[in-house]
């Protein structure tokens, strides 16, 4: 087991990474305020791992409430949150009950927001079971639900007490979901040190082939990088915004197509190509580096062009993005590979990049 | 103008108290991140003060979005919150837009929770216009909406950047609301120093008569006491719970009768008598001090008996209170006047206190 520490003073917490951790109650029990948890998971994950987690906890004397939501991004909404809150109330969960988010990004975001707001906040443990959640969404405290007018529009920064990352859970992850997770891994490579990007180019086939050592290394490096960024800028007033590389375009794709048609990681992959292309058109990233981004994502089996919604529709959706300031879209751009910055761009350049990176699907 | 400071390190903020502050834009403008605010208020307050606040801000070059919700506790719900979020999105409010909560406790709690969760949190200014909000709910960062199964069940601790308390706004407050606010003022007297309690007994008629100097003194003392408690225990893991004196019984009254039948302050008044009676039955508070509590609340024109829901119904409602731990009701009790503690009580004693302090209404 490897442990990565997220240092946030009184709210610091460990990320434990290893194979088989889901059934290992002693990791969790000392973090509980009272011997009671509510495990929130979805209809995909419940048949695979719920009994393993709940059974181990019950054997350790912990009372467990099980709450299973429908799988899919469309569950990240108010009615589902309200059902979770109702289950918590009906089973007598109180302010000392710990909510355990067992699943991917949707479960983590929804259950995390439930923990942030139930009775003004209860303890939270993240147990990510997808690669995307393990390298990104379960780390750093972002929680949210979607609004019909925009993704993640209602949410909170709320740190967990503990993240338990079981790499063996990836064995059952569908190929498409694994690839979507690789998009966020590659994002860390584009933002971080050159060595990790080179390692990814070297090892992308091993990652696609689920080689355990390669996956564990990638997860660890991503968690270390993300922990360092979150420590510096927990509430995204500065450098944390770099983690949104590809997300402004990506959210427009997700919202434009309707949530759940493309996986988040797929939209971010196409969005990173757009961001790289835009960076190039603005005179930053070299053309060969745009090709390098496109090639690595393509080798990971990810989309490198977006749907042709039309540049006008993209611009309209991005102006409504919550990272926009007074209607100005804030793009995360690449100065070169490994160094990002946040900047504006003329609509003309954005239209050009969009035309170069979209087609009718 | 008097200023009371709430000291919370990086999240410290001032409470400005004075007559005529609502129309004084220079208090607000320096606290804004961008020259844009969304003023959330209700149908009672809008005709009285919205133009004064919004007009002054517009004159100072600030863009103002006005959001008016129906007056009353029943607006502290999800559909109303969702309407507020929709207005914020539709008018292009972003992460740097400040939400101004102009109104009483309902507006403050709802708009505060909107600020806590819109795009994971935007700046908040509280402008309380009722006595209850000025001495209690606008100070200390509690925000929430109600759930059909319980009051304030979904919420967040979220501190404002600034509280602007205009004592002249109390001129238009209905008598019943003024009295409800006096319940929270008297609560501070019961929890705090003996001098303030004696001052209240001396000056309760002046307060009922809205004498400006008496009101300003009471508001200031309550804010000072509350600021000291919040500084010590922001998230209510200890001493802040004392501020819930009368609230466990009071919430049961509000939930049992349906939100909005009794004002919050009225329910808290009857609840404080119940808490005093229970404290006496458990061997703490002297009988003459229970009489003193009852007399002062009675002179303030507040209910000193609760509705006869039946002790069983009270107990059931209180077990579901979010301050309960593993089904054990946590009562705020009085050792003597001026000193509270949190403790449990045998059902028998609670039933006795309830029988002594309720009647068919």
Cβ distance of A147 and B86 shorter than 8 Å: yes
Residue B116 Cα, gap to closest chain A Cα (Å): 7
**ipTM associated with this complex:** 0.90
- Which H/E stretch holds residue A228? helix A212-232
| Of the partner residues B96, B156, B323, the one whose CB lies closest to the CB of residue A117 | B156
Residue B119 has pLDDT above 80, yes or no: yes
Instruction: Report pLDDT digits (tens) over A24-63.
Output: 999 999 999 999 999 999 999 999 999 999 999 999 999 9
3-class state of residue A247 by DSSP: helix
Overall residue count recorded for chain A in this entry: 361
Contact B149 A323 (CB under 8 A): no
User: Does residue B327 surpass a pLDDT of 90?
Assistant: no
CB of A132 closer than 8 Å to CB of A105:
yes
Question: How large is the average pLDDT for residues B281-293?
Answer: 97
Specify the domain boundaries for CATH 3.40.50.1970 within chain A: 2-172
From chain B, the residues in CB contact with A78 under 8 A are: 78, 82
Helix axes A247-257, A264-281, angle to 10 degrees: 130
Residue-wise pLDDT for B138-177, tens only, equals: 999 999 999 888 889 999 999 999 999 999 999 999 999 9
- Put simply, whether the predicted model's pTM sits higher than 0.90 gets the answer yes
Cβ within 8 Å, pair A120-B36: no
pLDDT in the model for residue B73: 87
Q: A175-359 is classed in which CATH architecture?
A: Up-down Bundle (1.20)
A329 CA: distance to closest CA in chain B (Å): 11
pLDDT digits (tens, 9 = 90+) for A181-199: 999 999 999 998 889 999 9
User: Is it the case that residue B192 has pLDDT exceeding 90?
Assistant: no
Tell me, yes or no, if B206 comes closer than 8 A to chain A by beta carbon. no
B32-63 pLDDT per residue, tens: 999 999 999 999 999 999 999 999 999 999 99
The answer to whether residue A144 neighbours chain B at the CB level (below 8 Å) is yes
Q: What residue ranges in chain B does DSSP mark as E strands? A: 2-6, 13-18, 36-42, 63-69, 98-103, 124-128, 142-147, 150-157, 162-166, 306-307, 331-336, 339-343, 358-359
Nearest to B153 among A89, A142, A325 (CB): A89
Confidence of residue B87 (pLDDT cuts 50, 70, 90): very high
Question: Is 3.40.1710.10 the CATH number for B2-172?
Answer: no
**What are B112's two structure tokens?**
């505060």
3-state secondary structure (DSSP) of residue B267 = helix
Dig out the tokens for B346 from the structure: 């045998």
DSSP codes joined into one string, B180-214: HHHHHHHHHHHHS-HHHHHHHHHHHHHHHTT-HHH
Residue B277 and residue B294: Cα distance in Å, rounded? 10
Q: What is the pLDDT of residue A192?
A: 86
Beta-bridge partners for A15: A4, A163
Tell me if B95 and A235 make a contact (CB, 8 A cut-off).
no
Indicate yes or no: CB of A95 within 8 angstroms of CB of B322: yes
* Contact (Cβ atoms closer than 8 angstroms) between residue B69 and residue B84: yes
Helix (H) or strand (E) run with residue A150 in it = strand A150-157
CA-nearest of A312, A321, A322 to A354 is: A312
Task: Name which of A95, A154, A236 is nearest B117 (Cβ-Cβ).
Answer: A154
A142 touching B (Cβ < 8 Å): yes
Q: Which residues of A are catalytic?
A: 120, 142, 184, 226, 236, 240, 244, 247, 251, 264
Residue pairs between chains A and B whose CB atoms are closer than 8 Å: 105
pLDDT of residue B160: 98
Please tell me the predicted confidence (pLDDT) of residue B132. Answer: 96
For B236, the closest chain A residue by CA position comes to A120
- Provide CATH 1.20.1090.10 ranges for chain B: 175-359
pLDDT tens readout for residues A190-244: 998 889 999 999 999 999 999 999 999 999 999 999 999 999 999 988 999 999 9
Reduced to 3 states, what is the DSSP secondary structure of residue B95?
Answer: coil
Q: What is the mean pLDDT of chain B?
A: 95
Distance between B19 CA and the closest CA of chain A, angstroms: 33
Q: Which residues of chain A have pLDDT under 70?
A: 259-260, 326
């Amino acid at each position: 087991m490897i442990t990565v520490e997220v240092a946030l003073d009184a709210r610091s917490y460990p990320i434990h990474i290893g194979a088989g951790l889901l059934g290992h109650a002693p990791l969790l029990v000392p973090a509980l305020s009272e011997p009671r948890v509510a495990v929130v998971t979805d209809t995909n994950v419940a048949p695979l791992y719920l009994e393993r987690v709940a059974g181990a906890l019950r054997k350790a004397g912990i009372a467990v409430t099980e709450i299973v939501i429908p799988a899919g991004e469309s569950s990240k909404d108010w009615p589902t949150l309200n059902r979770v809150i109702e289950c918590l109330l009906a089973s007598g969960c109180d302010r000392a009950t710990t909510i355990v988010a067992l699943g991917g990004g949707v479960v983590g975001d929804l259950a995390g927001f439930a923990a942030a707001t139930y009775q003004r906040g209860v303890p939270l443990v993240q147990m990510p079971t997808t690669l995307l959640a393990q390298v990104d969404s379960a780390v750093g405290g972002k929680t949210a639900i979607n609004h019909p007018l925009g993704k993640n529009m209602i949410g909170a920064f709320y740190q967990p007490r503990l993240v338990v990352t079981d790499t063996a859970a990836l064995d059952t992850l569908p190929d498409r979901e694994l690839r979507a997770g690789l998009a966020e891994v590659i994002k860390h490579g584009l933002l971080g040190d050159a060595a990790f990007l080179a390692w990814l180019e070297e090892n992308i086939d091993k990652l696609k082939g689920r080689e355990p050592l390669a996956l564990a290394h990638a997860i660890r490096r991503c968690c270390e990088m993300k922990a360092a960024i979150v420590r510096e800028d927990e509430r995204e007033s500065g450098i944390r915004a770099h983690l949104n590389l590809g997300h402004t375009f990506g959210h427009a794709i997700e919202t434009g197509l309707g949530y759940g048609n493309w996986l988040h990681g797929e939209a971010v992959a196409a969005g990173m190509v757009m961001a790289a292309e835009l960076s190039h058109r603005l005179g930053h990233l070299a053309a060969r580096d745009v090709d390098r981004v496109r090639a690595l994502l393509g080798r990971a089996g990810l989309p490198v062009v977006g749907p042709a919604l039309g540049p006008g529709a993209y611009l309209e959706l991005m102006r409504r993005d919550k990272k926009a300031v007074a209607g100005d879209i804030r793009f995360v751009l690449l100065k070169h590979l490994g160094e990002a910055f946040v900047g504006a761009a003329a609509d003309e350049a954005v239209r050009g990049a969009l035309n170069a990176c979209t087609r009718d699907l």
